[in-house]
Amino acid sequence: MIIEPRMRGFICLTAHPQGCAQNVVNQINYVKSRGAIDGPKRVLVIGASTGFGLSSRITAAFGSGAATIGVFFEKPAQEGKTASPGWYNSAAFQQEAKKAGLYARSINGDAFSDEIKNKTIDLIKKDLGQIDLVIYSLASPVRTHPKTGVTHRSVLKPLGGVFSNKTVDFHTGVVSTVTIQPGTDEDVANTVAVMGGEDWKMWIDEMMKAGVLADNAVTVAYSYIGPAVTEAVYRKGTIGKAKDDLEATAFTITDDMKGINGKAYVSVNKALVTQASSAIPVIPLYISLLYKTMKEKHIHEGCIEQIQRLYADRLYTGKQVPVDVSGRIRIDDWEMRDDVQEKVATLWEEATTETLPAIGDLAGYKTEFLNLFGFAVPGVTYGEDTNELVDVEGLI
Ligand code: NAI
């Protein structure tokens, strides 16, 4: 079929297999160009098919030569209907790992369920024995709790009062004011249930019980802080409560891993265009101003640059892992630099529909959004008949 982008709201309904594959190859080439990392050899990535999780898998495999198991929740293609981008990304990753002689297996299913945890642990026992690094990189709007059966839905709302600020529809470039009603206690509880630390802890507890974590194993989950302009809707909103919970859980998990001298970290990452972040009001406008500023200063990074730096300059330097006063790894350091934030704050005041194309990187945002689905990727020929039915090899 001829595959073209079909947008609906904040999502794209189609994905291009060759474009997704090219993105994966580009990330692999970047990691290789940075040289070998003396890192982990057996790695489990939960949320491995897109965004930071995909980059974490690629960095482990092609930076450290690691055997990887990836868990994700993606849709395969049907005749005439493309797969989700994470499916095509994973198909390409599996192919490239095979070519490089690297062990790689993938599990497609609900990571919040007991079933997928058990399946993953059985696979580890069978093939790898133990794991040195567990990356926890899920971004989901919904979680069915495995013990209660209750389905929780996360929401992106401010707390304590109505919030109004600028936002942009990045498809049209129109800057407008968005007003969001505050969340309730129930909204907070649901958002914490989906995006907080409980499921991360369940994974590690089950893995500890099964004896599949190696001595000195490390686990890392991802968080975000960001600037004052997004604070009400992000860090001080419902999602921020979930991130507070995730960050606090790192300490509990480290205690649980004492017997193997293990350690749980939260890494605070930079704001980036991913499927998850595009759905948050206010954030796309902030990102387009941030990208412009960081590109001008030659310190712009995407997921792969961020994660390569996380492994090479933070986790696997042979020295103690540097953390902030709250015990978190910071790879948002360049985003949060005073000169960057001061510039973005000034641009924020100036941003209107008319000014944004010049003062913000709206074009970069749009392109990166299309890239997530395998479109507008340099070197890929579009408009040709393409087989949408692609298998993920190594799928268990
Ligand atoms: P993403 O949407 O690109 O990736 C999410 C991953 O989770 C995919 O692999 C997807 O298949 C998987 N997934 C979702 N629900 C699942 C389920 N029920 N079972 C199994 N797999 C499931 O998201 P992104 O942006 O890479 O986010 C990952 C983490 O990084 C999140 O914790 C997010 O808050 C954090 N983060 C994101 C930032 C951003 O700007 N995008 C900035 C800093 C942190």
pLDDT digits (tens, 9 = 90+) for 142-177: 999 999 999 999 999 999 999 999 999 988 899 999
pLDDT at position 279 is 81
pLDDT at position 286 is 95
Q: Do residues 332 and 269 make contact, with C-beta atoms less than 8 angstroms apart?
A: yes
pLDDT at position 88 is 98
Q: Answer yes or no: is the C-beta of 86 below 6 A from any ligand 1 atom.
A: yes
Q: Give the Å distance between the CA of 273 and the centre of ligand 1.
A: 11
State the closest ligand 1 atom to the C-alpha of 271, by its place in the atom list counted from 1.
40
Q: Answer yes or no: is the C-beta of 287 below 6 A from any ligand 1 atom.
A: no
Phi/psi for 203 (5° steps) reads -60, -50
pLDDT at position 135 is 98
pLDDT at position 129 is 98
Q: How far is CA 103 from the centre of its chain?
A: 22
The encoded tokens of residue 251 equal 């300490």
Rg of the chain, C-alpha, whole Å: 20
Q: Give the Å distance between the CA of 52 and the centre of ligand 1.
A: 7
Domains in the chain (CATH in brackets) are 7-147+188-275+302-333 (3.40.50.720)
Nearest CA to ligand 1 atom 3: 51
3-state secondary structure of 45: strand
Q: Give the Å distance between the CA of 159 and the centre of ligand 1.
A: 23
pLDDT at position 294 is 97
Q: Do residues 62 and 35 make contact, with C-beta atoms less than 8 angstroms apart?
A: no
pLDDT at position 50 is 96
pLDDT at position 348 is 95
pLDDT at position 9 is 77
Q: Answer yes or no: is the C-beta of 49 below 6 A from any ligand 1 atom.
A: yes
pLDDT at position 215 is 98
Q: Answer yes or no: is the C-beta of 110 below 6 A from any ligand 1 atom.
A: yes
pLDDT at position 277 is 82
Q: Give the Å distance between the CA of 139 and the centre of ligand 1.
A: 3
Task: Check: pTM over 0.85? Answer yes or no.
Answer: yes
Q: Which residues of the chain are modeled with pLDDT < 70? A: none
Q: Which active-site residues does the annotation give?
A: 234
pLDDT at position 133 is 98
Ligand 1 pocket test, pick from 73, 265, 286 with the greatest ligand atom count within 8 Å of Cβ, gives: 73
Q: Do residues 372 and 14 make contact, with C-beta atoms less than 8 angstroms apart?
A: no
pLDDT at position 162 is 94
Nearest in space to 12 (alpha carbons), one of 43, 47, 50, 67: 50
What is the C-alpha separation between 9 and 348, in angstroms, rounded?
A: 24
